[in-house]
Amino acid sequence: MQFDTDYLKDVLTQIRAEVGKVIIGQSHVIDQALTAIFTNHHALVEGVPGVAKTLLVRTLARVLGCDFARIQFTPDLMPADITGTNVFNLQRGEFVLVKGPIFTTFLLADEINRSPAKTQSALLQAMQERAVTIDRTTYPLSPNFTVFATQNPVEYEGTYPLPEAQKDRFMLKIIMECPSREEELDLARRMLGTDSPEETLASGAVKQVITDGLLTHLRACLREVTVQEQIISYVVDIVRKTRQHNGILVGGGPRATQALLLASRASAILNMRSFVIPDDVKEMARPVLEHRLVLRPEYEIEGLTIAEVIAQILQEVPVPR
Ligand SMILES: Nc1ncnc2c1ncn2[C@@H]1O[C@H](COP(=O)(O)OP(=O)(O)OP(=O)(O)O)[C@@H](O)[C@H]1O
Ligand SMILES: [Mg+2]
């Protein structure tokens, strides 16, 4: 496959334009979501209620021609509620599979930490294998199956925080901030008219830019991106440094290295470049690393944040030239 810059530019411009018809601002967030999708990984999404987390994933599904489903995780949600079950069909006199909501392409898993470990691991296994096993039969999921998971704030009573090993399976954590004043004004005005973001999406004004199948083509473009040896070392050194930092109890594992490298490569594509530069790595460091690192409690008490640790590490690791 040739690295076809014109084709990519065209597709990316169209994707951004169509998503932008619904989502106001949030350009970094959109790029991070595209990073997870283009690299065939999964993402955590964080943000206060009403910052358009659901709307973003629904809009991306429309623009990229992918199916969408949402699962609200609750304390009583069972693994079979997400995967499906065999139900006895009286007329046919046999068991038939009733597929669960996981049989989709883009899955918004809302508040995954409200379900107990058993249900969480059913989701995580499906994410890893892109397949689910129901009564000993394994069914494949869409090759583009992508999970966007939100978490209820951990302080909330009755939550089951995701273990570190499970958070590691998400390539990145997308943080959605509240809109700027200008953006919020724009939103407020649109809410009064007939072109509110929700209505725009519902009206069919948002065009599908690519098909589910073309995602494979875009992924092939990613493999054409050049990653020089110095960039690989840069990524490895940054992740290794997270294991040595005084304030860090749990540093990034090898999966973090892999994720940072792949995300940086996607960042090059999103910036219409055929080679990775240190800025791609810097841009992706926080989204890739933040959810994987655990602060030492004594540093946490002192008010150090993981974001600050990552910023320090980026200052310290020599930038390749
Ligand atoms: N940046 C934005 N662009 C467009 N619409 C927005 C934006 N921010 C907020 N909205 C509006 O906020 C509404 C709520 O969005 P949505 O339901 O997707 O939020 P959410 O983050 O999923 O909330 P919750 O955490 O409660 O599920 C949307 O219908 C939309 O009108
Ligand atoms: Mg929502």
Domain residue ranges of the chain, discontinuous segments joined by +? 1-224, 225-321
- Per-residue pLDDT of 18-35, as tens digits, reads 999 999 999 999 999 999
CA of 198, closest atom in ligand 1 = 29
pLDDT at 273 (0 to 100): 92
pLDDT at 3 (0 to 100): 56
Residues with CB under 5 A from ligand 2 (ion): 53-54
pLDDT at 206 (0 to 100): 96
Higher per-residue pLDDT: 249 or 164: 249
> Distance (Å, rounded) from C-alpha 112 to C-alpha 26?
23
Cβ distance 270 to 31 under 8 Å? yes
Report the pLDDT averaged over residues 196-220: 90
> Distance (Å, rounded) from C-alpha 88 to C-alpha 180?
53
Ligand approaching nearest to the C-alpha of 58: 1
Protein residue whose Cα sits closest to atom 31 of ligand 1: 197
Best CATH choice for the domain 225-321 from the list 3.40.30.10, 1.10.8.80, 3.90.1170.40, 3.40.50.2300: 1.10.8.80
pLDDT at 293 (0 to 100): 95
Domains 1-224 and 225-321 share a fold: no
How far apart are the CA of 292 and the centre of ligand 2, in A? 23
Ligand approaching nearest to the C-alpha of 46: 1
Question: Is residue 13's pLDDT more than 60?
Answer: yes
- Per-residue pLDDT of 69-112, as tens digits, reads 999 999 999 999 999 999 999 999 999 999 999 999 999 999 99
Say what the alpha-carbon torsion angle 176, 38, 131, 254 is, to the nearest 10 degrees: -80
Question: Is residue 296's pLDDT more than 50?
Answer: yes
- Per-residue pLDDT of 110-162, as tens digits, reads 999 999 899 999 999 999 999 999 999 999 999 999 999 998 876 666 778 88
Ligand approaching nearest to the C-alpha of 53: 1
> Distance (Å, rounded) from C-alpha 32 to C-alpha 147?
13
The CATH superfamily of 1-224 is P-loop containing nucleotide triphosphate hydrolases (3.40.50.300)
Strand partners, 131: 140
Report the pLDDT averaged over residues 149-177: 85
Protein residue whose Cα sits closest to atom 27 of ligand 1: 49
> Distance (Å, rounded) from C-alpha 105 to C-alpha 122?
16
Tell me which long-range contacts 212-218 makes (C-beta under 8 A, separation of at least 24).
Answer: 212/64, 212/65, 212/66, 212/67, 212/105, 212/142, 212/144, 214/65, 215/37, 215/38, 215/64, 215/66, 215/144, 216/143, 217/1, 218/8, 218/11, 218/38
> Distance (Å, rounded) from C-alpha 264 to C-alpha 146?
19
> Distance (Å, rounded) from C-alpha 94 to C-alpha 43?
39
Question: Is residue 2's pLDDT more than 70?
Answer: no
How far apart are the CA of 57 and the centre of ligand 2, in A? 9
Question: Is residue 164's pLDDT more than 90?
Answer: no
CA atoms within 13 A on the CB side of 8: 23
Confidence of residue 287 (pLDDT cuts 50, 70, 90): very high
> Distance (Å, rounded) from C-alpha 61 to C-alpha 67?
6
How far apart are the CA of 23 and the centre of ligand 1, in A? 9
pLDDT at 157 (0 to 100): 66
How far apart are the CA of 33 and the centre of ligand 1, in A? 16
Ligand approaching nearest to the C-alpha of 22: 1
Protein residue whose Cα sits closest to atom 4 of ligand 1: 23
pLDDT at 221 (0 to 100): 84
What is the percent of the chain where pLDDT is above 70?
98
- Per-residue pLDDT of 225-245, as tens digits, reads 999 999 999 999 999 999 999
Q: In whole numbers, what is the pLDDT of the chain averaged over residues?
A: 93
pLDDT at 191 (0 to 100): 92
Confidence of residue 257 (pLDDT cuts 50, 70, 90): very high
Protein residue whose Cα sits closest to atom 15 of ligand 1: 52
CA of 183, closest atom in ligand 1 = 1
Ligand approaching nearest to the C-alpha of 200: 1
Confidence of residue 1 (pLDDT cuts 50, 70, 90): very low
pLDDT at 6 (0 to 100): 80
Question: Is residue 175's pLDDT more than 60?
Answer: yes
* Closest residue by Cα to residue 250 from 193, 165, 158, 185: 165
Q: What is the three-class DSSP state of 37?
A: helix
Pocket test for ligand 1, best of 54, 110, 206 (most atoms within 8 A of CB): 54
Pocket test for ligand 1, best of 44, 55, 106 (most atoms within 8 A of CB): 55
Pocket test for ligand 1, best of 29, 51, 152, 201 (most atoms within 8 A of CB): 51
- H/E stretch holding 90 reads none
* Residues in the ligand 1 pocket, defined by CB under 6 Å: 23-26, 47, 49-55, 179, 187, 196-198
> Distance (Å, rounded) from C-alpha 52 to C-alpha 196?
12
What is the torsional sign of CA 146, 152, 153, 156?
A: negative
